């Protein structure tokens, strides 16, 4: 009997919009504005184990478009997925949840944001590609710096 190495498992069970919100606080007057808005993007990712080897990963984006101090629109989207991930060490699991899953979810999130802006009567918002690997490395470096930093003065 030969012992075969345990193979890692990664499958996508479901991709879905978990939450979607659109606010146009200055409608209808804001539609008369001709200036280009300043668009701000805030993005967060999270992952939760929901079963044995089953995880929900989500990306939440808040897109705010403003002209001066007037908010043109505010779109909040949580794009999520259920993933089966098994037979990985902790470090590899963290990398898959922090990089692999967001890379899968982000194109869907971009599409929802663009579609939502268009359906609200605005120009599509095309979010730039994101490097989740670089963000993951930066987050790990920040966590390492916090662990190794001496205690602050009280």
CATH class of 9-145: alpha beta
Using one digit for the tens of pLDDT, what is the confidence trace for 12-35? 999 999 999 999 999 999 999 999
pTM: 0.87
Distance (Å, whole) CA 58 – CA 65: 23
pLDDT, tens digit, 9 for 90 and up, residues 82-130: 999 999 998 899 999 999 999 999 999 999 999 999 999 999 999 999 9
- Give the H/E segment covering residue 138: helix 132-148
d(CA 10, CA 99): 13
- 3 state SS of 114: helix
């Amino acid at each position: 009997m030969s012992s075969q190495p345990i193979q890692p498992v990664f499958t996508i069970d479901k991709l879905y919009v978990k939450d979607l919100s659109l606010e146009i606080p200055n409608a209808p007057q804001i539609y008369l504005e001709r200036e280009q808005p300043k668009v701000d993007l805030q993005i967060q990712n999270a992952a939760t184990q929901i079963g044995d080897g089953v995880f929900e990963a989500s990306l939440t984006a808040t897109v705010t478009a403003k002209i001066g101090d007037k908010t043109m629109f505010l779109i909040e989207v949580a794009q999520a997925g259920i993933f089966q991930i098994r037979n990985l060490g902790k470090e590899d699991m963290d990398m898959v949840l922090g990089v692999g899953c967001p890379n899968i979810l982000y194109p869907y999130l971009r599409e929802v944001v663009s579609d939502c802006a268009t359906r609200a009567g605005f120009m599509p918002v095309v979010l730039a590609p994101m490097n989740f690997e670089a963000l993951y490395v930066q987050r790990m470096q920040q966590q390492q710096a916090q662990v190794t930093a001496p205690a602050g003065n009280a």
